[in-house]
């Protein structure tokens, strides 16, 4: 798949660097269909050149990138917005505007490629039904970097003392929020198995008798769910056991 991209930045050298990096991107590849030095020029281009992704600077003459991102949301088919800026302090505002990603200059090829993969996934999401769980994301903030992780990638969330672990098939991340908040927002596709754990319904493979090898007092009369894509089992509380059995069609 090739994504059509518009670059919006008031600095010609910054636009040239992005164009060069985009030329090195694969899976998905990217085609620069136009460039603009300000928000007004960008809006005019988008009328003539519909695109998949806008790579957008924040500090520009006239309307800044945040204002342009707000305007783009009013389009019938808004493109994915990826901010590319030297200023990291606008990340929260950017994601409030539903930005797909937030890259800080100088941009590395790997990070740009990751952003394009998110845009590719977003195109798939837009063609899916409105109720598809792929349409939701969880925002992760880690060491000054903010990322939107599709919920379709998440296998479980588990409360660990002062933070919540978000587990995908390949990564462990930290969610800056509570399980209750997450469940209230995304509950339909998630199953509460314990006061400290939520699992993705689509990832549950089995309910099994479980003994904790680290607990010498565990008699093996507990239960746990086995999940697709991760090695560990997660304990099911007695209080949630009936709900889990019903969800699996066992009870």
* Residues 190 and 114 placed together within one structural domain of the fold: no
Per-residue pLDDT reduced to its tens digit, 95-149: 888 888 999 999 999 999 999 988 887 775 555 434 444 347 887 866 656 778 8
Identify the domain boundary among 81, 105, 127.
Answer: 127
Q: Does any domain span residue 146?
A: yes
Contact 155, 203 (CB under 8 A): yes
* Residues 84 and 153 placed together within one structural domain of the fold: no
* Residues 96 and 168 placed together within one structural domain of the fold: no
The domain in which residue 13 lies consists of: 2-127
Would you mind telling me the total number of residues written for the chain in this entry?
A: 251
DSSP line for the chain: -EEEEEEE-S-HHHHHHHHHHHHT--SSEEEEEEEESSHHHHHHHHHHS--SEEEE-SS-SSS-HHHHHHHHTTSSSPPEEEEEES-GGGHHHHHHTT-SEEEESSPPHHHHHHHHHHHHHHHHHHHS-TT-GGG-EEEEEETTEEEEEEGGGEEEEEEETTEEEEEESS-EEEESS-HHHHHHHHGGGEEEEETTEEEEGGGEEEEEEE--TT-TT--S-EEEEEETT-S-EEEE-HHHHHHHHHHTT--
Write down the pLDDT at residue 79. 92
Structure tokens at 148: 């939107």
Number of domains in the chain: 2
What residues in the chain have per-residue pLDDT under 70? Answer: 1, 124-135, 141-145, 211-221, 250-251
Identify the domain boundary among 83, 104, 127.
Answer: 127
CA proximity to 82, closest of 9, 141, 137: 9
Write down the pLDDT at residue 130. 41
* Residues 78 and 195 placed together within one structural domain of the fold: no
Identify the domain boundary among 84, 99, 127.
Answer: 127
Q: Does any domain span residue 43?
A: yes
Write down the pLDDT at residue 132. 45
Write down the pLDDT at residue 213. 55
Q: Does any domain span residue 176?
A: yes
pTM of the model: 0.54
* Residues 115 and 159 placed together within one structural domain of the fold: no
* Residues 119 and 143 placed together within one structural domain of the fold: no
Q: Does any domain span residue 133?
A: no
Q: Does any domain span residue 132?
A: no
Give the integer Cα–Cα distance in Å for 100 and 34: 20
Give the integer Cα–Cα distance in Å for 244 and 234: 12
Write down the pLDDT at residue 144. 57
Write down the pLDDT at residue 128. 43
Adjacent-strand bridge partners of 71: none
* Residues 102 and 151 placed together within one structural domain of the fold: no
* Residues 98 and 52 placed together within one structural domain of the fold: yes
Using the structure block, give the residue that is written with the tokens 């997660």: 234
Tell me the CATH number at 179. Answer: 2.40.50.1020
Contact 155, 227 (CB under 8 A): yes
Per-residue pLDDT reduced to its tens digit, 92-102: 888 888 888 99
* Residues 189 and 237 placed together within one structural domain of the fold: yes
* Residues 24 and 116 placed together within one structural domain of the fold: yes
């Amino acid at each position: 798949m090739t994504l059509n991209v518009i670059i919006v930045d008031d600095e010609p050298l910054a636009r040239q660097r992005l164009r060069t990096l985009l030329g090195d991107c694969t899976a998905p590849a990217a085609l620069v269909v136009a460039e603009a030095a300000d928000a007004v020029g960008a809006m005019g281009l988008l009328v003539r050149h519909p695109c998949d992704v806008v790579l957008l600077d924040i500090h520009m003459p006239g309307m800044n990138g945040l204002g342009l991102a707000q305007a783009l949301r009013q389009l019938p088919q808004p493109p994915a917005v990826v901010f590319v800026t030297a200023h990291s302090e606008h990340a929260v505002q950017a994601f409030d505007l539903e930005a797909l990603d937030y890259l800080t200059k100088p941009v590395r090829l790997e990070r740009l490629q990751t952003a394009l993969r998110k845009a590719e996934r977003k195109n798939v999401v837009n063609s899916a039904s409105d109720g598809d769980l792929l349409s939701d994301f969880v925002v992760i903030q880690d060491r000054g970097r903010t990322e939107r992780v599709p919920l379709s990638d998440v296998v479980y969330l588990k409360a660990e003392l002062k933070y919540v672990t978000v587990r995908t098939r390949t990564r462990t991340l930290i969610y800056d929020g509570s399980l209750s908040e997450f469940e209230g927002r995304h509950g339909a596709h998630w199953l509460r198995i314990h006061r400290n754990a939520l699992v993705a319904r689509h990832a549950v493979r089995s309910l099994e008798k479980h003994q904790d090898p680290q607990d010498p007092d565990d008699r093996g009369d507990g239960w746990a769910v086995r999940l697709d894509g991760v090695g560990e089992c997660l304990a099911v509380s007695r209080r949630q056991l009936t709900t889990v059995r019903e969800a699996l069609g066992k009870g």
